[in-house]
Amino acid sequence: MYLKFLIFTLSSFCALGAYAEFKSCGTHQIDSIMVQGNRDDNHIHANSFVMTLRDYQCNDKPYLILKNNQPSYQGMLSIALAAKLAGEEVHVTVNTSEDMGSATEISIIIVQ
């Protein structure tokens, strides 16, 4: 547990220079996970991993999103699926600097 906290803390400080608006959403159960491919309507969820947290909206937005062109896409999707199937909580941190409508970009997922 201490090691997870230490890694999270160190990674948070490293990323602060890159993302001026970095926000921790706390620790919650994952409510839903969806993966979307191309959409004719060019919706913000197209080509993305999208999840919601149980009874919580991070950054006042219902959806947490990561585009499939991000290097961490496969890893974060795997962590989220494993946590959901195991019934474990996740700690999520997001980037808030880009307006994505009803979604906020996922930066870090930690299984608690």
Domain ranges of the chain: 2-111
Q: Is a pLDDT exceeding 60 seen at residue 65? A: yes
pLDDT digits (tens, 9 = 90+) for 82-98: 999 999 999 999 998 88
The C-alpha atoms of residue 56 and residue 30 are separated, in whole angstroms, by 10
Q: Give the CATH fold of the 2-111 domain.
A: OB fold (Dihydrolipoamide Acetyltransferase, E2P) (2.40.50)
Do residues 66 and 91 lie in contact, with contact meaning Cβ atoms separated by under 8 Å?
Answer: no
Neighbours of 16 (CB within 10 A): 11
Q: Which amino acid type is present at position 77? A: L
Q: In the block, which residue shows the tokens 């974060």?
A: 76
CA-based radius of gyration for the chain: 14
- Strands (DSSP E) contained in the chain are 22-36, 48-53, 63-67, 89-100, 103-111
pLDDT digits (tens, 9 = 90+) for 28-52: 999 999 999 998 888 888 899 999 9
